[in-house]
Amino acid sequence: MSRIVYVNGKWVAEEEATLSIFDRSALFADSVYEVTTFINGELLDFDAHMERLQSSLVKLDMRYHVDKQALQTIHHDIITKNKLVTGSVYLQISRGAVDRDFHYDNSVKPTLFLFTQTGVQKNLEQMKLFRVITMPEQRWARRDIKTTQLLASSLAKTKARDSGVHDAVYVENGMVTEATSANFHIVDKSGALITRPLDGTLLPGITRARMLLLASGNGVAVEERPFTPQEVYGAAEACISSATNFIAPVVEVDGRMIGDGKMGPVVEKLRALYLEQVPRS
């Protein structure tokens, strides 16, 4: 059955959805996006996603005011129209459609569209034990902005899959940054959660932020600092965090088993806390 999608104020069947060939998202990746998960019809950490969306827009000088209430209504409407219970909503805003020019024009009306996906249900029912490989960092410098400049990560993720693993983790100047579409963390042998600080080299993940709050409030020490692949290999546990995978264990990196090759107690605790306590609306 065809999905119902939202494009610039209109509800249409996905086969009927169109964008201009001059949309700057197509010509320059001049667009930002958010993916918000919903479980039993409830949006997870929606306000935080909208705050990051507004931050991304401001950083790109894109003139679009984020009306949280209006966008929340659209999110719930698209869930209802597609008769879904659990899944995710993808939202994208571009600077709009205008003849190709490197100089942008903020008088053009932005493009807004949303659609749903259903893979989250599988991630809830059959959690992956992630196996990853490291790769040199190839993305642009402004990784603190959630833009649609995702080609480098698409190439890296596909190369990882073709190598027989689930994902890739980037390394820059000898230090881990993050995975292709998730933040990456380790747990040392003392049980401390170690995560790279928000120093511009990684996305300020919404799930990452929630995980750190839950860790600090529930007896898990947190260290925000850069770490090396060698530290990863010797870690007691490792995990990724993202909107659609929540907090998921990484059990192998570059062919080396992490810990005992299973989800460890700290990651298990944080995943359970997240699914139990993440704000829902």
Residues that are catalytic: 146
- Compute CA distances 226 → 177, 198, 203, 217, 259, whole Å: 8, 10, 14, 22, 20
Q: Residue 248 and residue 197: Cα distance in Å, rounded?
A: 19
Beta bridge partners of 248: 240
Instruction: Say whether 156 sits in a helix, a strand or coil.
Output: helix
Q: Residue 280 and residue 58: Cα distance in Å, rounded?
A: 26
Q: E-strand spans in the chain?
A: 4-7, 10-13, 31-39, 42-43, 87-94, 111-117, 130-136, 167-172, 175-179, 183-187, 193-195, 222-224, 237-242, 246-253, 256-257
Beta bridge partners of 92: 33, 113
Among 155, 163, 199, 200, residue whose Cα is nearest residue 181: 155
Beta bridge partners of 185: 195, 239
Packing angle of the helix pair 265-277, 206-217 (nearest 10 deg): 110
Q: And the tokens for 79?
A: 């869930």
Alpha helices in the chain (DSSP H): 24-28, 46-59, 68-81, 120-125, 151-162, 206-217, 229-233, 265-277
Where does residue 219 rank: exposed (0-12), middle (13-18), buried (19+ CB within 10 A)? exposed
